[in-house]
Chain A
């Protein structure tokens, strides 16, 4: 009995914190999404589906997100996979941990400053000025989908490398030897042994990156210059500029719903693939 009491006392502060700062606010968003807009901005209690019916007016933001988030995820995977493969299979074991830490560290530093670095590089006085000076004519890099994708890959590459690395590292190397002994050329060994066995890591990485990209605001805001915008940018606009809280809440609920659906689909896919979900820690 005393043990139970102490457990509850230890849990109480965190419990209250999660209730007030997480559960309650999320409930507020749900309630607000059925409300109406006050003329001066703000929220009027109501029960209407009007806000959800208005979602198509922000269709461009949803479309951009649903195109660029998967594309960014795919690009990150294509760049991350060979690096993860190198780290797990080819790198000198003595340096492996160090090299891995070097990949993860940027992820924990300010994404704001790291995106800013690309404004600086892709902006008018950076790379384009250099290209023009070299005689290749005038190019525009900043505020294009290319710039946003560069920022995405740059920002989320570490998150993709890590899970792929973990699944490749755990792979039983004897399977590859067996494949070679049975006369399979290296490429076939890779396609039939390594690649299928690394799929759980690939799926985890894609999922993590995709989820974070769905809620992205900073990268499109900084590198897309109002021309390439995500759902996150629409949300900032709705809450901080036009103060249309009810509609903003509906957009936020829809965003979370899309993420929930993808997450469930992913879990289902993972069970089909037969791989258990990898526990990946970022530290």
Chain B
């Protein structure tokens, strides 16, 4: 039994370890390790395409995670006191956002936005003076908006679980002591749910940073890091991809560990 578990853990982690190991390989081939070198990391980090894709991914992940955390928190707080039809609609929308495959979300967003832009752009052109009309197109905006949607659903789910497990008497006590609603929120509710918000933010960032399929459809002329990696794999396996992959995995692992620690320590404080 124990041996079996060990085998499964090896299966889960060995491929990742192989990538990490061979990112330090001096030679090009997977079949032999010819010596230790960090040259592929140097190559990756001095490649302007990699750096530009990394920057795009970072901006999109940060913006979408921020938007999702703020709006998602607001929605989760509001949904606490909502029952009936509004609640049912909200639940259905969150369920759909999480369950519809990313590829369908990506396609739907692509055709909807391209069509909408096709309607709006001529209007803008008519409003603005000759040749100065802003043109809407797919890019940073559509990437951030699409990622923020999924992340918002994620934040709402995490926060609802937290709010459900929270001691309501604290908020009632604060209200009984004549604290205005906003003061109660700032001094009681927010500190209690903050770990949840932070964990939601980190998970959202990780999701956006790692997402390939939605970005593939809505990125327009922009290239995120996963899109860059995908297209370079198509051109052939290189040790440079091993180095980029190792760095990407390291970033997500760090964020995940942080999110876990925050959620767990927060849960303990919430119980006491």
Contact = CB atoms under 8 A, between A and B. Distances in A.
Interface of A: 3, 6-8, 10-11, 13-15, 17-18, 20-26, 28-29, 32, 43, 79, 82-83, 85-87, 90-91, 99, 101-103, 105-106, 108-114, 116-121, 123, 125-126, 129-130, 133, 154, 157-158, 211-212, 214-215, 217-218, 222, 232, 235-236, 239-240, 245, 248-249, 252, 255-256, 259, 263, 281, 283
Contact of A43 (B11, B70, B79, B111): B111
B197 to A, nearest CB: 13
Given A18-B97, A21-B146, A130-B31, A215 B103 contact: yes
B263 A108 contact: no
Contacts of A28: 108, 111-112, 115
A103 B10 CA distance: 11
Given A79-B8, A116-B19, A22 B96 contact: yes
A61 B11 CA distance: 29
16 contacts: A6-B78, A7-B78, A8-B78, A13-B70, A18-B149, A21-B146, A29-B107, A113-B249, A114-B15, A121-B30, A126-B31, A157-B11, A215-B103, A222-B233, A239-B110, A281-B157
A25 B145 CA distance: 12
Contact of B107 (A3, A133, A248): A248
A119 B13 contact: no
Interface string B144-159: 0110110010001110
A130 B71 CA distance: 52
Contact of A281 (B77, B102, B161): B161
Interface range on chain B: under 10, 10 to 19, 20 to 34, or 35 or more?
35 or more
Contacts of B104: 26, 29, 215, 235, 252, 255-256
A118 B108 CA distance: 30
A235 B212 contact: no
A252 B148 CA distance: 22
Secondary structure at the A interface, as helix, strand, loop or mixed, is helix
A248 B230 CA distance: 22
Contacts of B263: 283
A112 B110 contact: no
B45 interface: no
A212 B98 CA distance: 10
Given A11-B78, A112-B210, A82 B149 contact: no
A108 B241 CA distance: 20
Contacts, number: 227
Interface of B: 1-2, 4-5, 8-9, 11-13, 15-16, 18-19, 22, 29-31, 70-72, 74-75, 77-79, 81-82, 86, 90, 93, 96-97, 99-105, 107-113, 115, 145-146, 148-149, 152, 156-158, 161, 181, 199, 203, 206, 210, 212-213, 216-217, 226, 229-230, 233, 237, 241-242, 245, 248-249, 252-253, 256, 259-260, 263
Contacts of A23: 93
Nearest to B255: A108
A232 B31 contact: no
Nearest to A14: B75
B111 A32 contact: yes
> Top 10 nearest A-B pairs by Cβ distance?
A215-B101, A25-B108, A10-B78, A117-B15, A14-B75, A25-B112, A129-B31, A113-B245, A110-B210, A28-B112
